[in-house]
Amino acid sequence: MIARPYGDTLDDGAVQFSFTLPVPEGPLGREAARQLVEKWGFEQVDVVHSHSLSEGFSFYVAYGRATTGIDLAGIQVEEATGPSVYTMDEANEIVRTRLGRKVVVVGACTGFDAHTVGIDAIMNMKGYNHHYGLERYPEFEAYNLGAQVPNEKLIDFAVKVQADAILISQVVTQKDVHIQNLTQFIEMLQARGLREQFLVLVGGSRIGNKLAVELGFDGGFGKGTFAEHVATFIVDRLLEREA
């Protein structure tokens, strides 16, 4: 099925836009805005609003009709975990019965990132939104190193505690600082010949599985992640490996 945006009639293609142009407000700017949206492939473009943001900048709200849709059949959904995840008890049960040892997990907010709320949500006892964190899982040994941990230190620690998985949180993404930092992490692991030794996971509000895999991680986790997702992912991968 080809999905096209929907306003009030199937396949009408309605899309709302807003953007700024480095152009003073006026007829030229409005026409430029209109033509620009047309150039992006939209029809019936209507610049419904414009105002001046300063002498050289102006703001536009526009609506247009998309002429292209997207074939749903061709879409690969690459989420780290599928629709069904283990509950805390199920995950622990599987570890106990099928892995037969504790799973060791090390987590941190790395680089200059100090947004610990996300990694805490996954790891701390109290968890998040009524989902307990990994510290509460009896079959997991979870170490949360906190904020602004250098990649080097994180790897050292993971080696020391013989971690199964390393969990990294990256929330600040401005100027792609997270990509630089995550790339450096993978390169360090590889340089030290440790890449295969750990499952490496990254999460954060602007992180997706796709990006994570591209950067060389095993999985990526965005908004709405709970400890269950992480536990499911780790347990399944460890079972695979050890099978």
Partner 1 sequence: MTAPVESKLGLPQDRIDQARELARRIARPVNQFIERHTTVSVERATLRLAGADGANAEGIPVPNLVVDQVRDRLEDGALLPYVNALVRTGDSVDGLNQKIAQGFRVDELPLGDRGALERKAEELVEAFATRVKANRAFRAACQERFAGRNHSPLLYVIVATGNIHEDVKQARAAAFQGADVVAVIRTTAQSLLDYVPYGATTEGFGGTFATQENFRIMREALDEEMERQERYIYLTNYASGLCMPEIAAMGAMERLDMMLNDSIYGILFRDINMYRTFVDQKFSRMINSFGGLIINTGEDNYLTTSDAVEKAHTVLASQFLNERFARDAGLPPRLMGLGHAFEMDPWLPNGFLLELAQARMAREIFPEHPLKYMPPTKHMTGNIFMGHVQDAMFNFASKASGQGIHLLGMLTEAIHTPFMMDRALALENARYVMNSMKDFASEIEFKKDGLIVRRAHQVLEETVDFLEVLDRIGLMEALEQGLFAEVKRPRDMGKGLEGIQERGPDYYNPFETYLASELGLSAN
The identity of residue 138, as a single letter, is P
Name the residue with tokens 């995950």: 91
The catalytic position among 39, 126, 210, 223 is: 126
Residue 22 binding its own copies, by CB under 8 A: yes
Residues ≥6 apart with Cβ < 8 Å to 60: 17, 18, 19, 20, 21, 29, 30, 33, 47, 49, 50
The Cα 98–Cα 85 span in angstroms is 17
- φ, ψ of residue 200 to 5 degrees: the values are -120, 125
- With CB under 5 to 8 Å by kind, the binding choice for 68 among its own copies, ligand B12, partner 1, none is its own copies
Q: Does the active-site annotation cover 153? A: no
Three-class DSSP category at 98:
helix
- With CB under 5 to 8 Å by kind, the binding choice for 161 among its own copies, partner 1, ligand B12, none is none
- With CB under 5 to 8 Å by kind, the binding choice for 201 among its own copies, ligand B12, partner 1, none is ligand B12
For strands 103-109 and 70-71, give the pairing: unpaired
Of 7-15, 150-158, 172-180, 184-192, which part binds ligand B12 (CB under 6 A)?
A: 172-180
Of 70-78, 106-114, 122-130, 233-241, which part binds its own copies (CB under 8 A)?
A: 70-78
Residues that bind its own copies (CB under 8 A): 3-7, 10, 14-23, 27-28, 31-32, 35-36, 39-42, 46, 57, 66, 68-70, 72, 75-79, 206
Q: Would you please indicate which residues are annotated as catalytic (active-site) residues?
A: 126
